[in-house]
Amino acid sequence: MPKVSDEHKEQRIQQILLAASEVFKSKGYEQATLKDIVEEAGMSRGWIYLYFKDKTTIFLALIDYLDAQLEERISTLLKENKGSAHGVLISYFQETSQSIDRLEDSVVPAIYEFCTTGWREQQVRDYFVNRYIRVTAIFIDVIGKGVENGEFKPTRSVDEIVKYMISSLDGIMLHSLAFGSQQINAVQQVNLLINQLMEMLSVNFLKIMEKNS
């Protein structure tokens, strides 16, 4: 196997992950095979094995890739909202509301499938615990910025608020997949969650207006 540059290696990995994403979207986790990913990527099996040992390692790398995209998106929203944590949260929830009707066409169902079928394995549980800590930290950092700049004066600990937010969003998404977003009024639930968060954060709208002026 010829040596490849780091840049070319990253391009290959991204190509594999994007191909895997399409496969997991259409087939879910259990029904997807390494052969499906090989065919979607348009690579030989040998190239795939150069970077990943099996379907599971590809899937976990894909989740890590999506989480990195989330972190980048939050960073972009901070810039777009001139450092306003309130603006970041509102923008994030608006984007979530707009995408919730398309959950079935995303990787989210496969992630839930993988988690529920593999939770008895300690390695899988450890992975998702670490992922939970990582994603939680992203939003703790956002709200922490809002506390520092005077936008928020939380009535509960930031840690509690973020964990409540994530649990609520996960519940809305899971019920949307199970019963349909229209049936559970998913968008309205997201809006209700926003209002609850703003109350718990005791938003200082005067401070926000100053930042936006």
- Measured N-to-C along each axis, helices 55-80 and 85-99 cross at an angle, to the nearest 10 degrees, of 130
Residue 150 covered by a domain: yes
Q: What are phi and psi of 120, to 5 degrees?
A: -70, -20
> How many whole angstroms separate alpha carbon 60 and alpha carbon 56?
6
Q: Are residues 115 and 196 in the same domain?
A: yes
pLDDT of residue 5: 72
The CATH number for 47's domain is 1.10.10.60
Residue 118 covered by a domain: yes
Residue 25 covered by a domain: yes
Quote the tokens at residue 172: 């809305």
Q: Are residues 153 and 180 in the same domain?
A: yes
pLDDT of residue 213: 58
Domain of 115 in residue numbering reads as: 63-212
Cβ–Cβ contacts within 10 Å for residue 196, how many? 14
Q: Are residues 1 and 106 in the same domain?
A: no
pLDDT tens for the chain, 213 residues long, are 456 677 778 899 999 999 999 999 999 999 999 999 999 999 989 989 999 999 999 999 999 999 999 999 999 999 999 999 999 999 999 999 999 999 999 999 999 999 998 888 999 999 999 999 999 999 999 999 999 999 999 999 999 999 999 999 999 999 999 999 999 999 999 999 999 999 999 987 666 666 665
Residue 179 covered by a domain: yes
pLDDT of residue 119: 85
Q: Are residues 22 and 126 in the same domain?
A: no
Q: Are residues 207 and 116 in the same domain?
A: yes
Q: Are residues 46 and 95 in the same domain?
A: no
Q: Are residues 105 and 34 in the same domain?
A: no
Q: Are residues 19 and 99 in the same domain?
A: no
Residue 108 covered by a domain: yes
Quote the tokens at residue 205: 């709208």
User: 154: left (phi > 0), else alpha (psi -120 to 50), else beta?
Assistant: beta
Quote the tokens at residue 147: 């506390």
Q: Are residues 153 and 103 in the same domain?
A: yes
Q: Are residues 43 and 106 in the same domain?
A: no
Q: What is the largest CA-CA distance in the chain?
A: 62
**Of 53, 75, 90, which residue constitutes the final position of a domain?**
53
The CATH number for 191's domain is 1.10.357.10
Residue 111 covered by a domain: yes
Quote the tokens at residue 136: 């939680």
The residue with tokens 């990995």 is 13
Using alpha carbons, list the distances in angstroms from residue 28 to 36, 69, 98, 117, 165. Answer: 12, 21, 22, 12, 26
Q: Are residues 88 and 44 in the same domain?
A: no
pLDDT of residue 114: 96
Give the count of domains, the chain: 2
Q: Are residues 100 and 155 in the same domain?
A: yes
Residue 58 covered by a domain: no
pLDDT of residue 7: 78
Residue 14 covered by a domain: yes
pLDDT of residue 8: 79
The residue with tokens 């939380």 is 154
